[in-house]
Structure 1
């Protein structure tokens, strides 16, 4: 009876009320553990994180970028306060002063957070206008804030967990050695474990496992792609490379592209059937073995008798940019042979992060295998030798050369598209740019053999261009080109120079923050219209027309090819 009366008493606490009070107590306890200096620095990083970057970000990626930035700011603030205490400076603030400080911090947050959420949305829509992307609802800022807070708490909990684990290791070791030595031991163990996770056997095992896992998904065929019947294509009945061994991207490469009739219809000139040869990763046990299979396909198709022979290094699972490949075939009337191969089962984003060695091995193996056969041909009858590749393909393909001067000596032309910033040859040629030229569009040796372009008109430097022409095609808004770990602590030249035409002029370098902004820009870097970000399309026709000029070919011819590529959506 007493229990019943107590439950009926309005003043008696209900289970819901008790749970709410417990939650409040826990939140207050958690809040008291937060350092005010860390929070103040986190607030500063929050405002920075909303600033414009290279490309527009969807609301959830903006939330992740902001959450990471806030966590970094909080960590730096706490580290700074710890450093001050370690130097023997321990301020003794009165209770009243602390209350005032907390109130000021709270007021600053109440003002700055909503203001910069709205400003961030405005800046993002401005970037969308620059890259011709539809604007989004600015109300998403509330979701941005929620995700940012969640990411911050997760990272904070992870950092505290690592700290707690390190302290436990130190306490255990402290039973046997002096305390200072125990602390150092705990830190060393934590660092060693981190290194093993990134570069050790576990890392290599995970890469191998990922390759094996994605190999099972490589047997699909893209919609609308069918096996070729022309003998000039790998995967045809005449080819030694079976259709089902080429991989999904390999089947797309040989199953698409213009035939002789399509080329004639667009250019109005007689054409022959273009050659496209390809070997999948399953063709041999080693990457070098796959390259040998490609050369055997070149032999079978009599590719050495064509006017132009192109060597392409693919990305990830073997993708080839159809616009770049097809435009070359249109411009040369089909009198071409394009050689390519698959070297990995990893999707490009994963390969970009996890495996940068295999693209280099593949690029070197394929080019050297082709070059060894090509160099023995009579000089007056062998085809022009050109190279091309995009993203990881550009990175891997350039590894066949000691540098840009070696490249300009050994090939007749090259088109490197969206080259990653960590490519050694790109770094060399960019660093060697002529004084006064910019990083986003370097001029090297007055453009005699190598030129950079975001737009085809950039290739016109008003100076003599030699017969061997190498083009680096890179958009000012392409995060693949500009992402680098050095962004963490160093301002790059491309952010001290006038911005590119599709980059917000208000973009500024911010320590730590810009690195994570550009990192997340890469996630959807190709999901923008061609001409921006990492989307390189029909303008490839204008690039090839400059690299391999042909007598009688006109600007109108190039425009027809570009229109055909746009219509077919290649």
Structure 2
């Protein structure tokens, strides 16, 4: 039995191309190098497996091009044997070496972001998963190649061989696209949405219906508690009370207003937005000092630190307006539905802005906007440019913005010369500033109102993920790396793209200040944006502590 298994392994090995294996080995080595964030061993295995498969394909492709160019040589069997021996020797040395180095680099990354050490013993699993993933991808590729050849042979009886091959490739590509977009893409999304919608009817542990009339979902509200969705219920039931705000700031405070409408409350995002405005009118939110419009992520989540910090800094004399626009989790919306967040962001801001603009200038609150991740992406869709944000708001805080968001991308691209992509300076910081830490907003130029802050970490894969990473080194990897990024990080074609892609999965599962985790530093940023009167730094420290250790 062992002899049969050994002969099968030899037969499979003989089908592999030595050039492809050499490039695959190079990609294996590259894939083990540090990325933005520490990854679980099983995700490292997936990243490595994909990289190895692509490397093998590139190597085989190069060899095929050489053959197509008519460059052929007869390699003596002795030389071929030596070549295979070199490949085997390199693999025997480099694979275990970089498994150990990769494990050590991941531990260094965990230490950098303040995570406890991981079990090194699991790292042997990286090799097993990588081989499995690479083999599966290779088998799928060979199956497609076999199908193309069979189809070419069938068509070749009707049209010349070159045309038959072209038609076969086109048909195979079309079938793959339809399979992914139809049976897999739409099917999986449909199942995910139905599952998410069912989960949306649950309520998080410890969340109870608010009794204060200043909250949607309360007995006084026109929005039914059950219609708000899981994240909406958490939002309106959370946040500091007037008593808690006074205890922290030492100043009189009001009960903050939080209004919200769930996706089930209307058939369209415009209809949901209109219900939010109705709640603003009911709670007399336009009589508060500051009104914030918040576009949520995916299922309706609002960062509790950013929202509570906003309320603390303004002594509860605030109103926050938000809404749910989807049942899908942010990760799926990020991949499959980027239109709805933009439509929701525009609908909500435009509806609130119209109601706000109808009031006399001296009888309406300051109007600010904020949002995180997909919420930042959707919220910015209400504005044509950075100048438009400045002209129609009294301030903004956009957190963890995805790379494809506008006008973020345009503002970043048009940054002042010699400023960094990870921390751009725009018009010397006249209105718009970028920050990884609160102190980053301190620039030489006087900061004029309205003030807009883009809060982003150098180690956040959500902000830096882009298809451009496949073949082009971005500016943020040409510049000095951020303090929260491993100094050994280098851009590697194709490999870096897959590393950053998988970094996104657990990008929020790190301490605040790293990756996609944004916390109590929001207090200082709101102080910088709004510059509340008679403020002292001791209040900021107390708010930071209150957010860090909520009761």
Fold equivalence (TM over 0.5): yes
Q: Is the 8 A contact 1:241 1:279 kept in 2?
A: yes
Structure 2 partner of 1:20: 2
1:276-309 residue CA offsets vs partner (Å, 9 max, x unmatched): 0000000001111111110110111111111001
Task: Give how far 1:202 is off.
Answer: 7.4
Report the equivalent of 1:278.
Answer: 260
Is 2:329 the partner of 1:319? no
Q: How does 1:2-17 map to 2 (within 5 A)?
A: none
C-alpha distance in 2 between matches for 1:304 and 1:193:
55
Aligned partners of 2:179, 2:540: CA distance in 1, in Å? 50
- The alpha carbon displacement at 1:164 in A equals 1.5
Where in structure 2 are the equivalents of 1:312-391 lying within 5 Å? 312-391=294-373
Q: Alpha-carbon deviation of 1:139? A: 2.6
Please state if 1:504 is matched with 2:491. Answer: no
SS in 1 for 2:316: coil
Structure 1 residues 407-462: Cα deviation after superposition (integer angstroms, max 9, x where no partner): 11110000000000011211101001101110110000000110000000001012
3-state SS, counterpart of residue 471 of structure 1: strand
Q: 2:37 aligns with which of 55, 60, 81?
A: 55
SS at match of 1:380: helix
Q: 1:121 aligns with which of 60, 82, 103?
A: 103
Q: 1:534 aligns with which of 507, 516, 521?
A: 516
Provide structure 1 residue ranges, at least 5 long, that are not aligned to the other structure. Answer: 1-18
Distance 1:377-1:488 versus aligned 2 partners, 3 A rule? same
What secondary structure is seen at the aligned counterpart in 2 of 1:472? Answer: strand
Matches within 5 A, 1:41-190: 41-190=23-172
1:320 Cα deviation after fit: 0.4
1-structure distance, mates of 2:308, 2:150 = 61
What residue is the counterpart of 2:292 in the other structure? 310
Q: Which secondary structure state, in structure 2, belongs to the residue aligned with residue 172 of structure 1?
A: helix
What SS does structure 1 have at the residue aligned with 2:381? helix
Provide the residue aligned with 2:527 in structure 1. 545
Select 1:448's aligned residue among 424, 427, 430.
430
The CA deviation string for residues 249-291 of structure 1, in whole angstroms up to 9 with x for no partner, is 0000001111111111111110111100000000001111111
**Residue 490 of structure 1: SS of its match in structure 2?**
coil
Q: Helix, strand or coil: the match of 1:414?
A: strand
Aligned-pair distance for 1:153? 0.6
- Which of 531, 536, 548 is equivalent to 1:554? 536
The alpha carbon displacement at 1:171 in A equals 2.4
Tell me which of 270, 275, 286 is aligned to 1:293: 275
Provide the rounded CA distance (Å) in 1 between the counterparts of 2:538 and 2:444: 21
Please say if 1:39 is aligned against 2:21. Answer: yes
SS in 2 for 1:400: coil
CA contact (8 A) 1:196 1:203 kept: no
3-state DSSP of counterpart to 2:3: helix
Secondary structure of residue in 1 paired with 2:177: helix
Report what 1:248 is aligned to: 230
**Counterparts of 1:24 and 1:209 in 2: how far apart (Å)?**
43
In the superposition, the TM-score normalised over structure 1's length comes to 0.95
- Structure 2: runs of 5+ lacking an equivalent: none
Q: Distance in 2 between matches of 1:128 and 1:266?
A: 34
2: CA distance, partners of 1:293 / 1:95: 78
2:254 and 2:49 mapped to 1: Cα distance? 56
Q: Does residue 491 of structure 1 match 2:468?
A: no
Q: What CA RMSD, in Å, does the superposition of the two structures yield over aligned residues? A: 1.3
SS at match of 2:549: helix
The alpha carbon displacement at 1:213 in A equals 3.4
Deviation sequence 1:305-360 (CA, Å, 0-9, x none) = 11001000000100000000010001111110100000000011111111111100
What do the CA deviations read for 1:156-188 (whole angstroms, capped 9, x no partner)? 111111112222222222233222211111111
- What SS class does the counterpart of residue 424 from structure 1 fall into? coil
Shift of 1:101: 0.4
In structure 2, distance between residues paired with 1:499 and 1:453: 15
1:324/1:371 Cα in 2 relative to 1: closer, same or farther (>3 Å)? same
Taking the aligned partners of 1:72 and 1:205, their CA distance within structure 2 comes to 27
**Residue 12 (structure 1) aligns with:** none
TM value normalised by structure 2 = 0.98
Partner of 1:565: 547
Distance 1:201 1:28, change over 3 A: closer
Larger radius of gyration: 1
Secondary structure of the residue aligned to 2:117 is: coil
Is contact 1:207-1:355 (8 Å) kept? no
Rounded Cα–Cα distance in structure 2 between residues aligned with 1:276 and 1:403? 28
Aligned residue pair count: 551
**Rounded Cα–Cα distance in structure 2 between residues aligned with 1:147 and 1:288:** 46
Deviations 1:452-480 (A, max 9, x none): 00000001012111110110000010000
Alignment of 1:364-443 (within 5 A): 364-443=346-425
Counterparts of residues 185-204 of structure 1 (less than 5 Å): 185-197=167-179, 203=185
1:231 aligns with 2:213: yes
**Residue 216 of structure 1: aligned partner:** 198
Q: Secondary structure at the match of 2:200?
A: helix
